[in-house]
Structure 1
Amino acid sequence: MLLLLVALILALGGTMSLQRAFAPLFGLDLAGGTIVTLSPVTSNNQPPSQESLDLAVNIIRDRVNGTGISDAEVARSGDNIVISVPGVGQEDVVKLVGTTAELRFRQVLGIAAAAAQMPTAAPTPSGSPNGTPAPAPTGSPAATPSQSAGSPDPAESGSPGAQSGFTGGKRSFSVMTNPTPAATPTGSAEPSAQPSDKKGEKGDEKGKEKGDDKGQATPAPTPAAPQPDDPMAGIDPTGIDPAVIEQFKKLDCTKKDRGQGAQDDPTKQIAVCDAEGAARYILDKAAVVGTEIASADSGVAQDTGEWLVQLSFKSKGGQEWGKVTTTAFNSQAPRNQVAMVLDGVVISAPVIQEPINGGRAQISGTFNQESANELANQLKYGALPLKFVRSSISEVSSTLGADQLRGGLIAGGIGLALVVIYSLLYYRGLGVVSVLSLAVATILTYQSVVVLGANAGFRLSLPHIIGLVVSIGITADSFIVYFERIRDEMKEGRRSLRAAVEVAWVRARRTILIADAVMFIAALVLYFLAVGGVAGFAFAMGLTTLIDIVVVFMFTKPFVALLARLKFFSKGHKLSGLDAERMSLDTTVRTTAPREA
């Protein structure tokens, strides 16, 4: 165990060296930063709704503090939103939150798995029995549009899985059609006056005719088998910017940072990830922007009982929507999909079952009430639910926080010194184990804070410092439980020190684990239910609780077992803390007690 602990410390130290990070990052109160106040602006000059403000707070919080531990705070103050970002200047904060990420609708040009993988065979584009590459999204219809539009099964109608052996997120298998009167929305969206059954039949007939005609055409030459790790396998590069293809190949959507909050250019093709990190996409230029959405609501289809999302567009948006859905309908998979991009990631990429004119559409698929409401809200509030203006922006000095930190460190140092003095006076030789265990816990805590800061944006603030100082008592409590168990076994006079160490550990570890589990659960609940400084305190307390378990199991117990082999402790020296006087044992009892080898 001791060797494993040394390996862990060396591994964390090596990580710090590789990343050239040797000091922790500090939060707003310790390092300064910037505070921006956003004020909402409504078209009718009326106060904004509470729902729209809460949604705006959530969107901005995800943008500035995706990991939840960087000490950036987004909070409401009346109708205003106050954003506090530590360690960042005004220009960077304005760039981060000053621009509004806008929902955009883009045709899908290619899909691949989130990261490179090794296929079993060279894939070919779906929907073409001869293995011909898919045509460009513009111009002539696809070879077999009926396969992408008429099939009710998304897996057969251009899903990512059918296209390149890849299974995307659940929303990638959704389909988009004109709304039917059978749908009962939960919101205010009204179904289209024109039902979609006739259009669907016409679309099927039209697709079959095109498929028959295309079937007589001379097949194109089969493309060369792609490399096993080539994400462009099965994707037709026609009409795609080569620079975007290179970006698509390098894109790794398995990482936590998948481009959330990125500001994409609507006039350019892009390569992005989906929100779940399950797929990467090549998308065409933006065809429709989120500001053209008039309404979006979730509802239940009366005939099937499935949840769906209905949306309607404004006049100009409806026209552009009709054009992009017509192009997608007349294209092969995966170009028969239209992706919805919000904050730099794809939130949905439904298959287009038919050209959608008239400015109304509905999205169906594997939705439940929660996921349908979530997508409806994302569509309804395309970028942010409100337009905001920066009413104030100011930089914060760390002078006050530095003074408080100095006072907190002094208080923590005094507390640590008292714990050390108490351990040495009461446990004597065993107190050395307490001191060394606290030193190991300090090293692990410091390394963890530095590594988290370099990799997850973790920043130390005053609440974190408080949580770390409180952990001194938690760690010392574990030592006391174990030492008292050892002394209890020794007082019985029937065991040697080496035997007492092992028996006491079996009894003590259960108590230590239960106490730490209770503390960790409390920290976990507090972290998820609280925000700001309270959440920071809970995170630090949970981190140090885990470190306490590591130290007790990997250092304290093995180290005590080694000390038990020394005559200084096994013979009960007066300074060992295990002498007969301190054990309150009768000399006769110690003399006649059997000894164990």
Structure 2
Amino acid sequence: MPKHERWKIILILVVLFASLWAVYPPSEKIKLGLDLKGGVHILLQAKGTPENPISSDTIERLIAVLRNRIDQYGVAEPVIQREGNDRVVVELPGLDDPESAIELIGKTAMLEFRPVIDATPRLPRKPERQNYGSDEEYETAIKRWEEYERQALAMEKKLWKHVEENPSLSVLKGEDGEVYLLGAASITGQHLLDAKVAFDNLGRPVVTLKFNKEGTHLFDELTARNIGRQVAIVLDGVVISAPVVQERISGGEAQISGRFTTDEAQRLAIMLRAGALPVTVEILETRSIGPTLGTDSIKSGIKAGLIGAILVFLFMFIYYSRMGLVADLALVMTIILVLAGLASFRATLTMPGIAGIILTLGMAVDGNILIYERIKEELRSGKTVMAAIDAGFRKAFVTIIDANLTTLFAAAFLFYYGTGPVRGFAVTLSIGIFASLFCAVFVTKVLLRLFVGRRKSSVLPATKERL
């Protein structure tokens, strides 16, 4: 074997083994898309206001906050991308609880600490007939409850009058129906350094807060001014807790308690750590894809891919005999390179992506056919086998490059303007173009020269063209 051929063989083997290493084990290295793995697809629309209109920067900040929240939630390989001017697509593979995802993504998580100026009394639960022995007792309880309701409404009207007189005050409702008159917010979520889930002395989940330097100073002043009075903890415009300050708190830490489950406390902590959404969002569409459907899609995709590959391999072998085997070896390496490319670039494989792999096989075969037919023409003109191989590859090269470049341009447009699975198809097709070019133009030529060089016959297999 000539020295200039030896380094080519070594290069092919290095690329092959590096690709196998990059893709093994495929279950861990190849990311599966939503249509293959199952999960949740959510389409969001940003809602602007005259004071805070939707802009490109707003959407980028929205995506950054969403990504921060989802990364902390632990979803593997989420897809978060812009769609149009004011929409964002979120795909969460492997997640089977759309409600928790919607709560995590859709809430703004605006946290405020406000002093309580006044509040309506907590309205007791409306009486139910089955809890009373007679109609008279039930009617008496109803009248008493209605009187409480009238007093609460009258108190609420007084609170609103205070707001009219002093616009710096606010009236907000609590989770249990109380209405609070609150002072201006002195501490917000921007003063948070950390938020974690903990448990109180009764084992109930709570969210512990740690403030930054400025927040520590402000919280110290807030608690010092309100000893013996309530301070409301406001989340997204709702008072979730209004504890009485027992003493001045100088350590820069606080605690949010409420009727939380552990999961709810965890989601609240994540939203507080990640920050508030820059704008409100509306959920336009939610689709949940079960893992069973994803498994069925994988089986169907693999079956379709295997059938397509087998048909291509059989065609090349039947039409070109042993030369077809050389092309088939190059095709196998093309598939390995595509999978290695997906693993290396951490691209997501989707059902359209599998279609892209099958299309790549067709393009690779097309390149081999162009080369083989050109070699046959060169043999008819009287060239030797080696000269015909060199001339065939050289003259077919321009045509192959031209065909692949036009396909690459189409894939680039699909990636730029497409979303979700369409972009997955474009990525897979682009990687396949480079893999098929390398294998058709370089690998096939080296293997063909090596195969012919070892034969004593002056006939190139399957061409039937003698020297």
TM-score normalised to the size of structure 2? 0.54
Q: Do 1:56 and 1:386's aligned partners in 2 also have CA atoms closer than 8 Å?
A: yes
2-structure distance, mates of 1:503, 1:433 = 18
The aligned residue for residue 433 of structure 1 is: 326
Shift of 1:94: 6.2
| Residue 32 in structure 1 maps to residue 38 in structure 2 | yes
1-structure distance, mates of 2:397, 2:84 = 47
Say if 1:54 and 1:404 are closer, same or farther in 2 by CA, change over 3 A. Answer: farther
The aligned residue for residue 447 of structure 2 is: 559
Say if 1:434 and 1:61 are closer, same or farther in 2 by CA, change over 3 A. Answer: farther
Shift of 1:473: 0.7
Say if 1:486 and 1:265 are closer, same or farther in 2 by CA, change over 3 A. Answer: same
1-structure distance, mates of 2:52, 2:10 = 56
Say if 1:412 and 1:39 are closer, same or farther in 2 by CA, change over 3 A. Answer: closer
The aligned residue for residue 523 of structure 1 is: 411
| Residue 87 in structure 1 maps to residue 87 in structure 2 | no
The aligned residue for residue 296 of structure 2 is: 403
Deviations 1:240-271 (A, max 9, x none): xxxxxxxxxxxxxxxxxxxxxxxx973449xx
The aligned residue for residue 464 of structure 2 is: 579
| Residue 461 in structure 1 maps to residue 350 in structure 2 | yes
Say if 1:386 and 1:464 are closer, same or farther in 2 by CA, change over 3 A. Answer: same
Shift of 1:23: 4.8
2-structure distance, mates of 1:20, 1:472 = 20
SS at match of 1:417: helix
Q: Do 2:356 and 2:428's aligned partners in 1 also have CA atoms closer than 8 Å?
A: yes
Deviations 1:281-338 (A, max 9, x none): xxx95869xxxxxxxxxxxxxxxxxxxxxxxxxxxxxxxxxxxxxxxxxxxxxxxxxx
1-structure distance, mates of 2:109, 2:434 = 38
Say if 1:417 and 1:267 are closer, same or farther in 2 by CA, change over 3 A. Answer: closer
| Residue 266 in structure 1 maps to residue 153 in structure 2 | no
Q: Which has the larger radius of gyration?
A: 2
Amino acid of the structure 1 residue aligned with 2:445: K
1-structure distance, mates of 2:437, 2:90 = 36
Say if 1:15 and 1:470 are closer, same or farther in 2 by CA, change over 3 A. Answer: closer
The aligned residue for residue 482 of structure 1 is: 371
Q: Do 1:48 and 1:79's aligned partners in 2 also have CA atoms closer than 8 Å?
A: no
Say if 1:411 and 1:500 are closer, same or farther in 2 by CA, change over 3 A. Answer: same
Kindly, what percent of the aligned residue pairs are identical?
24
The aligned residue for residue 143 of structure 2 is: none
SS at match of 2:40: strand
Say if 1:412 and 1:40 are closer, same or farther in 2 by CA, change over 3 A. Answer: closer
List aligned pairs for 1:46-125, cutoff 5 A.
52=54, 57-61=59-63, 63-64=66-67, 72=79, 83-88=90-95, 90=97, 93=101, 97=105
CA RMSD of aligned residues (A): 4.4
Say if 1:36 and 1:414 are closer, same or farther in 2 by CA, change over 3 A. Answer: closer
Say if 1:534 and 1:41 are closer, same or farther in 2 by CA, change over 3 A. Answer: closer
Shift of 1:459: 2.1
Residue segments in structure 1 that go unaligned for 5+ positions in a row: 103-263, 270-283, 289-342, 346-381, 584-589, 591-597
Amino acid of the structure 1 residue aligned with 2:300: G
The aligned residue for residue 340 of structure 2 is: 447
Amino acid of the structure 2 residue aligned with 1:398: P
SS at match of 1:484: helix
| Residue 513 in structure 1 maps to residue 401 in structure 2 | yes
Tell me which of 265, 276, 280 is aligned to 1:387: 280
2-structure distance, mates of 1:435, 1:484 = 16
Amino acid of the structure 2 residue aligned with 1:571: S
SS at match of 2:462: coil
2-structure distance, mates of 1:12, 1:444 = 6
The aligned residue for residue 221 of structure 2 is: none
List aligned pairs for 1:16-31, cutoff 5 A.
22-31=28-37
Tell me which of 365, 387, 404 is aligned to 1:499: 387
Deviations 1:75-108 (A, max 9, x none): 7799986632212454984697456599xxxxxx
Say if 1:394 and 1:534 are closer, same or farther in 2 by CA, change over 3 A. Answer: closer
TM-score normalised to the size of structure 1? 0.43
Say if 1:498 and 1:95 are closer, same or farther in 2 by CA, change over 3 A. Answer: farther
List aligned pairs for 1:308-319, cutoff 5 A.
none
The aligned residue for residue 205 of structure 2 is: none
Amino acid of the structure 2 residue aligned with 1:524: A
Say if 1:95 and 1:89 are closer, same or farther in 2 by CA, change over 3 A. Answer: farther
Q: Do 1:37 and 1:80's aligned partners in 2 also have CA atoms closer than 8 Å?
A: yes
Say if 1:468 and 1:392 are closer, same or farther in 2 by CA, change over 3 A. Answer: closer
Shift of 1:418: 2.1
Shift of 1:52: 1.9
Q: Do 1:2 and 1:554's aligned partners in 2 also have CA atoms closer than 8 Å?
A: no
2-structure distance, mates of 1:474, 1:523 = 14
Say if 1:16 and 1:405 are closer, same or farther in 2 by CA, change over 3 A. Answer: closer
| Residue 535 in structure 1 maps to residue 460 in structure 2 | no
SS at match of 1:418: helix
| Residue 423 in structure 1 maps to residue 313 in structure 2 | no
List aligned pairs for 1:230-249, cutoff 5 A.
none
2-structure distance, mates of 1:398, 1:425 = 40
SS at match of 1:572: coil
The aligned residue for residue 246 of structure 2 is: none
2-structure distance, mates of 1:533, 1:50 = 32
Q: Do 2:334 and 2:436's aligned partners in 1 also have CA atoms closer than 8 Å?
A: yes
2-structure distance, mates of 1:486, 1:79 = 55
Amino acid of the structure 2 residue aligned with 1:489: E
2-structure distance, mates of 1:483, 1:81 = 48
SS at match of 1:84: strand
Say if 1:391 and 1:488 are closer, same or farther in 2 by CA, change over 3 A. Answer: closer
Shift of 1:56: 5.4
Q: Do 1:57 and 1:74's aligned partners in 2 also have CA atoms closer than 8 Å?
A: no
The aligned residue for residue 10 of structure 2 is: 3
Deviations 1:331-368 (A, max 9, x none): xxxxxxxxxxxx999xxxxxxxxxxxxxxxxxxxxxxx
Q: Do 1:56 and 1:384's aligned partners in 2 also have CA atoms closer than 8 Å?
A: no
Shift of 1:552: 2.3
The aligned residue for residue 312 of structure 1 is: none
Say if 1:388 and 1:463 are closer, same or farther in 2 by CA, change over 3 A. Answer: same
